[in-house]
Structure 1
Amino acid sequence: MDLRKLGRTNIDVTSVCLGTMTWGKQNTETEAHEQLNYALERGINFIDVAEMYPVPGEAETQGRTEAYIGNWIKQRKNRDKYVLATKVTGRSQMTWARDGDEPLTRHTPAQIDEAVEKSLKRLKTDYIDLYQLHWPDRAIPGFGFHSYQDYDASDMVPLEDILGALNRHVEKGNIRHVGLSNETAWGTMKFLQLAEKNNWPRMVSNQCVYSLVARRFDYERAEIAMREDVGLLVYSPLAMGLLTGKYDDGNKPEGSRWEKFPTFLGRYDLAHEAVKDCNDTARRLGLTPTQFALKFVESREFVTSNIIGATTMAQLKENIDAHDIEWTDDMEKEAARIHKTYRSPAA
């Protein structure tokens, strides 16, 4: 398993990270623990979760995924064997995650404090290796938008307050390192600027959507990842399952995410022609669609780790095995052709 540096830290993480967002809704706790055990056996040392998981976010299930992992941590007593990442919910109406009468979840210092303490308790651990801002506090259209629309900049928690709150938890030892998720180029650079100005922790990563059909990270954030060591942690490398081929010809297998939660795939409404090309190309290259999609992501030099999620052990094994293949010049040429043809149809 390939090891890559997490930002400018002394932590090496595997190029494959175990995603967990289905645990507690599509997966039982027993299944979650089976996946955790198998991933570690295969050499993966990186686990990603969030306080809002499982998805879709609901009051009845919020925090359940962290609790599953916490029970596993308590049983295994091997906390030093892996890197554990979680996230604080961004600006949203999921106020069930907070104890007070807040109108929105925000990245205020008080809400960050509450979120950190609750995650530590559910995870049954003394520290979180990587604590991420799940999406910005700013009222920007962060998911699936195709053109920029400005927002009221006065209606945002100052970034200095956010990073200051995170710094206090780093000083306490609750958090080792901090990262971003779904953050823009501007937001990333502002956080780095504040870190340098105040001698506060640098952001070490930015977790964003990225795949053969969602390549907007290439346009400007990739350069930041390379020059500033804020590497990409990739989510949805299989485009919510579209790049596995299981939805080809309009199929919606029973129990699949498209069958259960069709709105999840909204960001791919314009990508179906590109998806078909990707899957057909993989087969022409002698690969499965899953192999082509996952190895493409891992081969990008600005990627720190590729977050894979699965609802079955068979899927998990296939996803991990996909990283064992060699990325070739022919594969690179085909990935470039697809991008030139469709220009990142998913946002």
Structure 2
Amino acid sequence: MASLKISPLMLASSGWSRQCLRHHDNRVATQRQRTMRSVRAAVAPVQQALEYRKLGDSDLLVSEITLGTMTWGEQNTEQEAHEQLSYAWDQGINILDTSEVYPIPMQATSQGRTEQYIGNWVKTQPRDKVVIATKVAGYSDRQTKLRKDGGITRVDRKNIREAVEGSLSRLGVDYIDLLQIHWPDRYVALFGEYSYNAEKWRPSVPFVEQLEAFQELIQEGKVRYIGVSNETSYGIMEFLHASRTYNLPKIVSTQNSYSLLVRCHFEVDLVEVCDSHHGNVGLLAYSPLAGGTLSGKYITDQLLEESKKWRLNMFPGYMARYKKSLVKDAVEAYLQVAKRHNMSLVQLALAFGRDRSFMASNIIGATSMEQLKENIAAYQVPRPLSQEIEEDIEAVFKRFRDPTL
């Protein structure tokens, strides 16, 4: 994954910007203008010396940190959300990730509130300085207010269009920079499920039909680029094949879980699929701190008054995979590595993700400004991590490969 340390002056004085802005298809003129504005916005003054990376085959140049938002509207007020947004942008973060289903845990009474909070903040900013990534829900038979008819959500033309119209309204914008499928329409092993269960197979919306629905929205100027989330190698390859075969929009990103505790799913074969020599699909990694576990705060079983507000304690059963005893052992081992090298566990975990060659951007969310500042500051750890630190990390990894499984 190519990355750059750049300033507006460097960009303006080089031929690189023209190359970055070269289009890969025949988008309409208005779409081209929006792309140019976005790339200029991506190189706003940076206090934290963040790197910026081109997202797949898109013209989006995104900061190596993406601001996560899924607690806004449940654990965070709108004022707190706006404080986080303003601080993140002051540090050079230019991309935020949200979803039509946020906040999480998903509830009919709060669904969509996160996008509303973002929309109210975006009104105070130049639109072309903000890269907005949101998501359309995959298959779900839960009764929610996601759709007007209250029925099952699918990744088909009707549902995609309704989802986009709803997100545009809540966000108060006329286009979405990156629209992602939150989870697949077909059955896949998700959120801690260990392996594929063929007995759970169900009919699903064809990949071509999904891309055709996105193509309509792109042609209308409502969506610029598309991506996927919680995908497998099979799914990404099918999307890429359908795109090439039928001249349909290409996915430019995948959003998957990746951290010191969750590595194998991506590293085994998704790395090859997404590599720039093959699919050229950028990784937007979520849960780089494994739901807060890699802060080290869950190591002790002692329930302090303040810990009742911690996410995994507030919602029993939520992300239960991070509360396994083997996870605790792995976290303790990584904590010792961090101490050995005079680092905090947060610094070790985030710098590890930062330095992966396949990483486009790490999605970092926080429920407090203190956490957000600590997480962003972790990117000031000298890069790359030393060989000794990498070797110590690999030694722990050999003992605890993916302890959440």
Say yes or no: TM over 0.5: yes
Greater Cα offset, 319-328 or 277-286: 277-286
Deviation at 1:45, TM superposition (A): 0.4
The code of the aligned residue for 1:276 comes to E
Deviation at 1:77, TM superposition (A): 3.3
Counterpart residue number, 1:325? 381
- Structure 2, unpaired ranges of 5+: 1-49
Please give the alpha-carbon distance, in whole angstroms, between the structure 1 residues aligned to 2:302 and 2:334.
17
TM-score (norm: length of structure 1): 0.96
1:242-321 equivalent positions in 2, closer than 5 A: 242-252=293-303, 253-268=307-322, 269=324, 270-321=326-377
Rg larger for = 2
The code of the aligned residue for 2:270 comes to R
- Contact in 2 for aligned 1:139/1:151 (Cα 8 Å): no
1:173 paired with 2:173, answer no
The code of the aligned residue for 2:388 comes to D
- Contact in 2 for aligned 1:140/1:151 (Cα 8 Å): no
SS of residue matched to 1:217:
helix
Deviation at 1:280, TM superposition (A): 2.1
Counterpart residue number, 1:222? 271
The 3 A distance-change label for structure 1 pair 82 and 289 is: same
Runs of 4+ in 1 over 4 A off after TM superposition: 151-154
Cα offsets for 1:156-209 (capped at 9, x unmatched): 111111111011111111100000000000000000011111211111111011
1:94-243 equivalent positions in 2, closer than 5 A: 94-102=143-151, 104-150=152-198, 155-215=203-263, 216-226=265-275, 227-243=278-294
- Contact in 1 for aligned 2:84/2:372 (Cα 8 Å): yes
Q: Alpha carbon RMSD of aligned pairs, Å? A: 1.3
Please give the alpha-carbon distance, in whole angstroms, between the structure 2 residues aligned to 1:277 and 1:264.
24
Cα offsets for 1:62-98 (capped at 9, x unmatched): 0000000011111x13111121100001111153200
SS of residue matched to 1:130:
strand
Cα offsets for 1:121-158 (capped at 9, x unmatched): 00000110000000011122212111221256561111
Please give the alpha-carbon distance, in whole angstroms, between the structure 2 residues aligned to 1:251 and 1:262.
16
The 3 A distance-change label for structure 1 pair 285 and 275 is: same
Please give the alpha-carbon distance, in whole angstroms, between the structure 2 residues aligned to 1:83 and 1:240.
24
SS of residue matched to 1:96:
coil
| Count of matched residue pairs | 345
Please give the alpha-carbon distance, in whole angstroms, between the structure 2 residues aligned to 1:337 and 1:45.
35
Please give the alpha-carbon distance, in whole angstroms, between the structure 1 residues aligned to 2:301 and 2:258.
23
Deviation at 1:279, TM superposition (A): 1.7
Counterpart residue number, 2:57? 8
The code of the aligned residue for 1:247 comes to Y
The code of the aligned residue for 2:218 comes to V
Deviation at 1:262, TM superposition (A): 2.9
- Contact in 2 for aligned 1:291/1:319 (Cα 8 Å): yes
The code of the aligned residue for 1:129 comes to D
Deviation at 1:250, TM superposition (A): 2.1
1:335 paired with 2:393, answer yes
Deviation at 1:285, TM superposition (A): 1.5
Counterpart residue number, 1:61? 110
- Structure 1, unpaired ranges of 5+: none
Greater Cα offset, 252-261 or 113-122: 252-261
